[in-house]
Amino acid sequence: MGAYINVGSPAIVIELEYDKAVDTAIEQIKRKQYPDKVEQYANRLLLVGVTYERETKQHWCRIEHFE
């Protein structure tokens, strides 16, 4: 069975990091050019960076619309 892609819906690229700033996750998505892999979602792509701090058990999330 082939993959079904609904290009009318947004795509989400998620990067998970620990013990780093949440901006680091978003920067890595862009630096490694992950959005290029889902270019058919142009103008409908969300970048999500999540980071987790092991010592305090706190987490942060940043969501950015990619253009």
Q: How confident is the model at residue 1 (pLDDT cuts 50, 70, 90)?
A: very low
Model confidence over 28-56: pLDDT tens digits? 999 999 888 888 777 788 999 999 999 99
Q: Let me know if residue 59 belongs to a domain.
A: yes
Q: Let me know if residue 37 belongs to a domain.
A: yes
Q: Let me know if residue 3 belongs to a domain.
A: no
Q: Let me know if residue 51 belongs to a domain.
A: yes
Residue 39, amino acid:
E
pLDDT at 6 over 80: no
Helix (H) or strand (E) holding 26: helix 22-31
4, 40 contact by CB (below 8 A): no
d(CA 61, CA 44): 19
Q: Let me know if residue 1 belongs to a domain.
A: no
Token pair of 14, please? 């998620």
Find the domain containing 31 and state its range: 11-66
pLDDT at 4 over 70: no
Which regions of the chain does DSSP assign to beta strands (E)? 11-18, 45-53, 58-66
